Amino acid sequence: MKMLINVPETVVADALRGMAAAHPDLTVDVENRVIVRRDAPVAGQVALVSGGGSGHEPLHGGFVGPGMLSAACPGEVFTSPVPDQMARAAAAVDSGAGVLFIVKNYTGDVLNFDMAAELAEDEGIQVAKVLVNDDVAVTDSLYTAGRRGTGATLFVEKIAGAAAAEGQPLERVEAVGRKVNENSRSFGVALSAVTTPAKGTPTFDLPPGELELGIGIHGEPGRERRAMMTSGEIADFAVNAVLEDMPPRDPVLVLVNGMGATPLLELYGFNAEVQRVLAERGVSVARTLVGNYVTSLDMAGASVTLCQADEELLRLWDAPVRTPALRWGM
């Protein structure tokens, strides 16, 4: 498998050096693996810290900036960052208003962020946490107890980030983040297997002409394998799986997310089918975002995330944001 890297051992550090060169509005600590918005800490604002294994870019480092995350901690590929990283990030961004940890529901992430919270609190930093567990595909997986955290992470980081930018207190920013997670559901589909730099070959076998329904962002198994389906058939399956778990009461935010190797031409075509299914089911769409946001290295495929957005959540979604991967209104 051909990869645009030097050696697997330095792939994360190399990426961080490149990120630093491309985005001078970020402070990138390559050695300690912490990405911080350059103007942090921001007086009077709750700080948001997230992180996870590398390989899901732009999650999370691409979402650091005004209106979203204050800092992000990249681990090794598909491996949780360590507690010292998160504690260091919390110390770098805390203005005295407290820090909200946003954690995807994977066992390593949960354990390490809990330890980081203890370290930060020992230093006098007030910490709260939002756990993202939006994936309806499976109840448990290779990496989790309970549902996996996937595309709704973007919604939580953006909307809670907007609440923090307004100067809302920690308990309120936490409540907003939890509300977003509770009102979000996701379902993903893989058209090809993922290849990690360390392994250099696909991490699982997905024969030509087949797809995996309900895949996780690390290549974890989904609900079932089927012969290749059309874009419309995949949209029917994915959207209906989400709506069976969460019949919407409010208009929805829609994220049609690429897994890393699916071109925008296909993603926009898939979005057309997703919108068709939502219209057929009588679901009102408030906003739609299409692109590669929560990826899995070179996996071909897509995921659909829906978030029920009342007036508060929609206002916070529309609020200004300026990060490497998401920006509007500024």
For the annotated catalytic residues, the residue numbers are: 56, 218
Q: How far apart are CA 232 and CA 272, in angstroms?
A: 9
The pair of three-digit structure tokens given for residue 127, joined into one six-digit string: 């910490």
Beta bridge pairs of residue 288: 254
- Cα of first residue to Cα of last residue in the chain, in angstroms, is 41
Type of residue at 250: D
Length of the chain measured in residues:
330
**Angle, vertex CA 327, rays to CA 247 and CA 67, nearest 5:** 80
Give, as one character, the DSSP assignment of residue 187. E
233 alpha-carbon distance from chain centroid? 25
DSSP-H helix ranges across 166-220:
170-182
The torsion angle over the Cα atoms of residues 192, 55, 77 and 298, rounded to 10 degrees, is 30
100 contacts 47 by C-beta, under 8 angstroms: yes
Which uninterrupted H or E stretch holds 164?
helix 152-165
